[in-house]
Amino acid sequence: VQLQAFGGGLVQAGGSLRLSCAASGRTFSSYAWFRQAPGKEREFVAVINWSGATTYYVDSVKGRFTMSRDNAKNTVYLQMNSLKPEDTAVYYCAAGGSISVRRISYDYWGQGTQVTVSS
């Protein structure tokens, strides 16, 4: 089982990026995005259930980020709009069973992709 996250980069404040996370080996019920800024703990960002009908976001990204999934491609996405410098972090995708905001709930993790937002 492997998760590959990509799509990060350098963008100016107010700009957009779309992260992708492709899973190989199996399909998971839920996927989540977490992020970790320098010197900070890894924090929950967004989660999506099997059908894509249920999503949940941390308050700081609500209205700006949208998570979606394409089960045919075994891929999830995080569309990030109106980016702010405080969104700068390494973004990790995670996969598991039940929908959760807790890191411990996810057994599989991608390698992370750097997002840098300049002011």
State yes or no: pLDDT of 15 exceeds 90: yes
Amino acid at 13: A
- At 61, is the secondary structure helix, strand, or coil? helix
Give me the pLDDT at residue 98, please. 87
Which residues, listed in sequence order, are joined to residue 31 by a DSSP beta bridge? 48, 95
pLDDT for 18? 98
pLDDT score recorded for residue 26: 85
pLDDT at 1 over 90: no
67-102 per-position pLDDT tens digit: 999 999 999 999 999 999 999 999 999 999 889 999
Residue 25 has pLDDT above 90, yes or no: no
pLDDT more than 70, % of the chain: 100
Tokens of 45: 């960002």
- Asked if residue 42 lies in contact with residue 34, where contact means CB atoms within 8 angstroms, the answer is yes
